[in-house]
Amino acid sequence: MDTRHLIRISATALATAGLLVSGCSPGGTSPSASASAPRQTVPAALKTYYAQKLSWRACGAPGFQCATMKAPLDYKKPERADIKLAVTRKKATGPGRRLGSLLVNPGGPGGSAISYVQSYAAIGYPAPVRARYDMVAVDPRGVARSEPVECLTGKEMDAYTQVDQTPDDQGEAGKLVTSFKGFAAGCAKRSAAILPHVSTVEAARDMDILRAVLGDEKLNYVGASYGTFLGATYAELFPARAGRLVLDGAMDPSLPARDMNRDQTAGFETAFQSFAADCVKREDCPLGTGTPDGAGKRLKGLFDELDAEPVTTGQSRRLGESLATTGVIAAMYDESAWTELREALTRAMGGDGAALLALADTYYERAADGSYQNLMYANAAVNCLDLPPAFTGPDEVRSALPDFEKASPVFGEGLAWASMSCTYWPTRATGTPHRIEAKGAAPIVVVGTTRDPATPYKWARSLAGQLESGTLLTYDGDGHTAYGRGSDCIDTAINTYLLEGTPPKDGKKCS
């Protein structure tokens, strides 16, 4: 689990947005250096894609239509091959004048936008928004229904998730390196054709084709977590076509992978401190009733115990340090999971790891039959293409450990080693860290949560400052992302922007 890869959708909390995954972040070929940097005409080689007609059909979810859209597999050589992308929509219900399509993306990379819109957004977004927008989603290339990246079998993935990510010696470090190499080799074996073509830049270009095919002059969009990078990239490529864009739980595209991973490590520490401060006030807190720092030491002690001797879970897999850490991190995404986490930690300390394992399985999208969704595979494929790796090997990780452990005494060691997951990737990164300004774009609303674990608040401040038309909206609270999570102040500001086009005043704060 590499921190950068940790930006995905959480199945808990309104299917809200964001759970982490494992790898890197921003990227694809840097638009500022690309031959197709912001220009508003359609290249001749792409006109057939922009002119295609979608054949809509009824699909599983009531009220939704589904279709398949074609895009070039390789935008540099669009004549060679197509990629098929799954699209869904639920038409505006009225009353009120239809405002066009509202494309949504829950993050990841690797989160299924179709699952998100069908299970939550088109049902749970505020009624006035759903009344006036067609709610639309496309699974990005390589994700879920859109020619998914595949890497490992279920049993292989089980083994991968249990590898010790806090190696105590050269031998354990070697096993960790072997696991990263094996994961990468599995992706290369099963997904060779698509692996070089799942960058964020390519996904953003796909979104512009979809915009045109839907008949919209401009793209209206709500992106959460990694979806903010996708949306910002779209605005960079197509500033004149950027409509009302909400970037919630923002990423900072200017950061190299190592800095991004370290920042996210600090974000999880901030979230844990908030959980711990609440926990130690409760009689049932398994981490004691002292201070948050003391609770952190107790949790780290539990991780050490599980590293030495995993506990039973009622199934063939045992709960060791790696899976336990993942389970705790999963619960950091939303404060509504804190009660479940306290209970899971209590049971683990008593020798029963089933509840923490269940949290980890939710994070990894592992089904009861032992199969996995492709979230983690797509996450790695996109992240490792979007940015050069954080580390070149174990020696660099060891040198960086003090910085990571300073960022988080609880999670720092494990997340530092996890940041090596792109080191052995079979496809060279095509993206580079860079500022996104999107000059000429309409106002863009960037939302940051002060104690967000996965996308630290300072990233939102940074992105809002980079964007020429960025305006920062702050939620003073816990959890990952802010829209639709209970703050009337946040929801009213975003709804007003989506419905009327009026962004909140830059620097507006809500609680």
The dihedral built from the CA positions of residue 363, 368, 371 and 374, taken in this order, carries a sign that is: negative
pLDDT in tens, 35-55: 333 446 899 999 999 999 999
Q: State yes or no: cis peptide before 95, omega within 30 of 0.
A: yes
How confident is residue 60, by pLDDT bands cut at 50, 70 and 90? confident
Alpha helices, H only, 199-320: 200-213, 226-237, 257-279, 292-308
pLDDT at 243 over 50: yes
Residue 394 dihedral angles phi and psi, to the nearest 5°: -55, -35
Q: How is the beta sheet containing 82-90 ordered, strand by strand?
A: 57-58, 65-72, 82-90, 133-138, 100-105, 219-224, 242-248, 444-451, 470-478, 508-510
Overall residue count recorded for the chain in this entry: 511
Closest CA to 183 of 418, 433, 432, 429: 418
Q: Rounded mean pLDDT of 291-313?
A: 97
> For 150, which DSSP code?
-
- Please tell me the pTM assigned to this model: 0.92
Share of the chain above pLDDT 90, in %: 91
Give 158's contacts (C-beta < 8 A, 6+ positions apart): 317, 366, 370
pLDDT in tens, 123-154: 999 999 999 999 999 999 999 999 999 999 99
pLDDT at 20 over 60: no
CB 46 within 8 A of CB 368: no
pLDDT in tens, 411-466: 999 999 999 999 999 999 999 999 999 999 999 999 999 999 999 999 999 999 99
If one counts every other C-beta atom within 10 angstroms of the C-beta of residue 168, the result is 10
Average pLDDT value for the chain: 92
Just list the catalytic residues. 225, 452, 480
pLDDT at 1 over 90: no
pLDDT in tens, 147-181: 999 999 999 999 999 999 999 999 999 999 999 99
CB 182 within 8 A of CB 422: no
Alpha helices, H only, 365-480: 375-386, 394-407, 412-418, 457-466
Q: Can you read off the two tokens belonging to residue 280? A: 């130690």
Share of the chain above pLDDT 70, in %: 92
CA distance 10 to 29: 28
Q: Can you read off the two tokens belonging to residue 367? A: 């089904």
